[in-house]
Amino acid sequence: MAILADANTKIIVQGITGREAVAFTRDMIDYGSKVVAGVTPGKGGQSVYGVPVYDTVLEAVTKHGADASVISVPPTRVRDAAIEALSHGIRLLVLVAERVPRRDTLEILEFAREKDARVIGPNTLGMINPHVVKIGMAGGPVANVKSAYTPGTVAIASRSGGMTTEIANLLTLNGIGQSTCISVGGDPVVGLNFLDLIPLFEEDPGTEAVVLFCEPGGVIEETLAEMVATRGIQTPIVAFVAGRFVDKMPGIRFGHAATIVEGNKGTTSGKIARFREAGIHVAERLDDIVTILKGIL
């Protein structure tokens, strides 16, 4: 089982003729994802690895149908591309660009809510349902993806795209397969986050446990702990909180735009304390994730 996408999901790529998009389009196709069309204004009639390119989303959707779009355009153009996709029936957006203006992101998310659509990112590598579908850049080339990700019952949600694959590979090496793996994005404002994903994993009969890779900054983790406690979430959650040194350096951003501690908000110590109070397992080291999971599954 999987959430958000499956083997039948039809994908378009907006900005498909860009260098980065050309590369991950090939990787998605090699993995078996159904990339049905691409969109780049002014490049209609071209093709990328056999994928036809159109000038507009309307043309692509009319001729091929589509459920999801990977948007790979400059950050200041993401809003227009997302609104175009949502206006023509796309129900899952993967926004790979970083530094998208926050106001633009908020407008995208509001419009997505009106259209009953879901957004992953911005600043995301995308998602993978192992051996089923890959949407975006997660895992890189197909050989890497197939060795790192294996089908199973442990979901992964991570604020770091690279660590999504690192954790999947760690689990795979220890005989633990994955259900759905999602890079939620490293910007301060993103679409689907832990609060949205945990209820989806809870409802998924193919997911028996969830691993979270957390970072300093923001209060999503603390809010999640409260939600788990008050709603009685039954799916076991294992959390690894990276960057504990950041607590001693308030106001300084490390890596992702969202990785910044402001005053007493967003500290790793606060996140860890709330997790433990809510009954969420906290891994002190990455390999502790495996030990905890083997005790759960």
The rounded mean pLDDT for the chain is 93
> How high is the pLDDT of residue 69?
98
Flag whether pLDDT at 21 surpasses 90: yes
Rounded to two decimals, the pTM is 0.93
Number of domains in the chain: 1
| Per-residue model confidence as pLDDT tens digits over 228-285 | 999 999 999 999 998 665 554 555 555 544 445 555 567 888 999 999 999 999 999 9
Q: Does 1 fall in a domain?
A: no
CATH code at 180? 3.40.50.261
Q: Does 241 fall in a domain?
A: yes
- Give the torsion through C-alpha atoms of 252, 120, 197, 230, to 10 deg: 50
Flag whether pLDDT at 71 surpasses 90: yes
Q: CB of 191 within 8 A of CB of 118? A: yes
C-alpha closest to that of 136 among 78, 97, 80, 105:
97
52 prior amide bond cis, ω within 30: no
Pick the residue with more confidence: 253 or 145?
A: 145
Q: Does 214 fall in a domain?
A: yes
> How high is the pLDDT of residue 266?
72
C-alpha to C-alpha distance for 33 and 24, rounded to whole angstroms = 11
| Per-residue model confidence as pLDDT tens digits over 34-63 | 999 999 999 999 999 999 999 999 999 999
C-alpha to C-alpha distance for 243 and 256, rounded to whole angstroms = 12
Cα R_g (the chain), whole angstroms: 19
Provide the domain limits for residue 280. Answer: 10-296
For 182-190, what is the mean pLDDT?
93
C-alpha to C-alpha distance for 39 and 127, rounded to whole angstroms = 21
Reported as type and span, the H/E element at residue 193 is: none
C-alpha to C-alpha distance for 53 and 58, rounded to whole angstroms = 12
Half-sphere CA count of 123, side-chain side, radius 13 A: 21
C-alpha to C-alpha distance for 223 and 70, rounded to whole angstroms = 29
List, in sequence order, every residue forming a beta bridge with 152; answer none if it has no partner. none
C-alpha to C-alpha distance for 292 and 117, rounded to whole angstroms = 34
Q: What percent of the chain has pLDDT over 90?
A: 85
Q: Does 207 fall in a domain?
A: yes
Q: Does 4 fall in a domain?
A: no
List, in sequence order, every residue forming a beta bridge with 181; answer none if it has no partner. 128, 156
Max CA separation in the chain (angstroms): 57
| Per-residue model confidence as pLDDT tens digits over 121-144 | 999 999 999 999 999 999 999 988
Q: What percent of the chain has pLDDT over 70?
A: 92
> How high is the pLDDT of residue 267?
86
For 50, the token pair is 């056999």
Q: Does 111 fall in a domain?
A: yes
Cβ atoms within 10 Å, residue 226:
14
Pick the residue with more confidence: 104 or 262?
A: 104
> How high is the pLDDT of residue 264?
59
C-alpha to C-alpha distance for 96 and 74, rounded to whole angstroms = 10
Residues 88, 131, 256, 281: which is the catalytic one?
Answer: 256
For 56, the token pair is 């507009």
> How high is the pLDDT of residue 66?
98
DSSP one-letter code for 262:
B
Q: Does 276 fall in a domain?
A: yes
> How high is the pLDDT of residue 258?
47
DSSP one-letter code for 16:
T
Active site residue 88: no
Q: Does 3 fall in a domain?
A: no
One-letter identity of residue 77: R
C-alpha to C-alpha distance for 151 and 131, rounded to whole angstroms = 7
